Amino acid sequence: MAGHTAPIDSKKLWGGGISPFNASYGKIMMWFFLVSDAFTFSGLLISYGYMRHRFEDVWPVAEDVFTHFPFLHGDHPLLYVALMTFILIMSSVTMVLAVEAGQRMNKKGVTLWMALTIVGGLIFVGSQAWEWYHFIHGTELGALQLADGTIAQWASAAKDALVLPGGAEITGAEAAAMIQSGTEVYGANLTVNEYGVPLFGDFFFFITGFHGTHVFSGVVLNFIIFVNVLKGTYEKRGHYEMVEKVGLYWHFVDLVWVFVFTFFYLI
Partner 1 sequence: MSDFDRTAEYAIHHSEEAGKKMRKTIWLIFWVLLVVTGVEVTLGLIWKDMGLAWSFVKWTFIILTLVKAYYIVAYYMHLKHEYKNFIYAVALPYIVLIAYLIVMMLTEAMYIHEEADILM
**Among residue numbers 89 through 128, which ones bind partner 1 (CB under 8 A)?**
89, 92-93, 95-97, 100-101, 103-105
Q: Is 75 one of the binding residues for partner 1 (CB under 8 A)?
A: no
Check binding of 78 to partner 1 (CB under 8 A): yes
Residues in 118-177 at the binding interface with partner 1, rule: CB under 8 A: none
Question: Which segments within the chain are labelled E, that is strand?
Answer: 143-145, 151-154, 162-163, 169-170, 183-185
CA dist 156 and 72 (Å) reads 23
Question: Which of 70, 231, 233, 237 contacts partner 1 by CB under 8 A?
Answer: 237
Count of beta carbons in the 10 Å neighbourhood of residue 61: 10
* 231 counts as binding partner 1 under rule CB under 8 A: no
Residues with Cβ within 8 Å of 119's Cβ and at least 6 positions away in sequence, in order, are: 91
Q: How far is residue 20's CA from residue 48's CA, in Å, rounded to a whole number?
A: 37
Q: Does 24 bind partner 1 (CB under 8 A)?
A: yes
28 contacts partner 1 (rule: CB under 8 A): yes
Q: Does 82 bind partner 1 (CB under 8 A)?
A: yes
Alpha-carbon span 105 to 110, nearest angstrom: 8
Interface region with partner 1, contact rule CB under 8 A, candidates 12-20, 148-156, 185-193, 204-212: 12-20
Nearest alpha carbon to residue 151 among 183, 114, 128, 181: 183
Tell whether residue 4 is a contact of partner 1 (CB under 8 A): yes
Q: Please, what is the minimum distance in Å from the beta carbon of residue 95 to partner 1? A: 8
Helix (H) or strand (E) holding 183: strand 183-185
Q: Does 71 bind partner 1 (CB under 8 A)?
A: no
33 makes contact with partner 1 (CB under 8 A): no
The side-by-side arrangement of strands in the sheet containing 151-154 is 169-170, 162-163, 151-154, 143-145, 183-185
DSSP class of residue 188 equals B
Output 135 or 252, the one with its CB closest to partner 1: 252
Q: Which parts of 200-229 interact with partner 1 (CB under 8 A)?
A: none
| Rounded least distance, CB 162 to partner 1, Å | 20
Binding region for partner 1 (CB under 8 A) out of 40-48, 167-175, 180-188, 194-202: 40-48
Distance, in Å, from the CA atom of 151 to the CA atom of 199, rounded to the nearest integer, reads 12
